[in-house]
Amino acid sequence: MEKIRELAVKLKENNKPLKIAAVIIVVIAAVLVFAVKGNSDTISIEDAHAAKDTAAEESSETKAKVYVDVGGEVESPGVYEVDKDARIYEVIDKAGGLTGKADTTDLNQAEVVKDGQKIVVASKVESSGSGSGSQGTPSGASTSAAGNGLININTADSTELQKITGIGPVMAGKIITYREENGRFSKIEDLKNVSGIGDKTFAKMKNKVTI
C-alpha cells in the first residue's frame, strides 16, 4: 500500500490524467484488500463453527453415563456412575473392591452393566451355610437354611424352587433367569420383581423362602 501511495504522489506531480489514474489504482487496490480480508474472515468463522460442532459431538459421546447400585460383599456399597459400556468388575472396583467374604461363583463380572441395575455380591457364608446337610448336599442345590426347611432362592435349582408354594417349572425358570441377569436377591421381597409374582403370590410363599 505504501508503494502505491508513492506512485500516486508522483503521478499527481506530473499531470492531471495521471492523477486520475492514480486515484483509480488506489481505489482498486483498497477494494481488493478488503475483499481478501472479508473472505478470510468468513472462512475462519465457518471453520470455527465446524470445529465447535465436532467437539460437541465428541463430548456427548464421552459423557454417556449410567447409574448402577452395587451391594453385598463390596467394601463401599452404593450407587455409582459409570460409562454406559462399563463391566460389572469395573463397578465393583469403584465400590472399593470385593471383601474377603465375597463369593463370585455365580457372578459374571465381564457382563456389561445396564442403567438402574442392582448388583449384589454374595457372601461365602450364605452360599455354604444353606446347603450343607447330613448327606453332604451340594451348596448349588440347597433345600434349606439352618435346617429350618426354607428354600434359598439364591442357590436353589429349578427342582428345589418348585417346592415353593405357587411355583411351577415356568416360574422357577423365571426366577433363575432373573438371578442370572440381576445377581442374587438381597431380600425375599425382591421376588416380586420377577415377572408373574405379585403381592398375592408372594404372600403364599414368603414363609417358605430365605436368602
Boundary of a domain, candidates 62, 97, 113: 62
C-alpha to C-alpha distance for 172 and 106, rounded to whole angstroms:
17
What confidence score (pLDDT) does residue 134 get?
Answer: 35
Residues 138 and 101 in one domain: no
Residues 124 and 186 in one domain: no
- What is the band of 144 on the pLDDT scale with cuts at 50, 70, 90? very low
Boundary of a domain, candidates 129, 158, 176: 129
Residues 69 and 139 in one domain: no
Domain encompassing residue 15: 2-62
Residues 109 and 146 in one domain: no
The pTM of the full predicted model, rounded to 2 decimals, is: 0.38
User: What distance lies between CA 59 and its chain's CA centroid?
Assistant: 15
Residues 44 and 94 in one domain: no
**Grid cell in block for residue 35:** 475483499
> Averaged over 161-173, what is the pLDDT?
88
Residues 150 and 92 in one domain: no
What confidence score (pLDDT) does residue 24 get?
Answer: 76
Which of residues 81 and 148 earns the better pLDDT score? Answer: 81
Residues 70 and 122 in one domain: yes
Which among 106, 67, 58 is positioned nearest to 86, based on CA atoms?
A: 67
Residues 76 and 139 in one domain: no
Residues 73 and 105 in one domain: yes
Query: What end-to-end distance do the CA atoms of the chain give, in Å?
Result: 89
Boundary of a domain, candidates 105, 129, 153: 129
Report the share of the chain in percent with pLDDT over 70.
Answer: 61
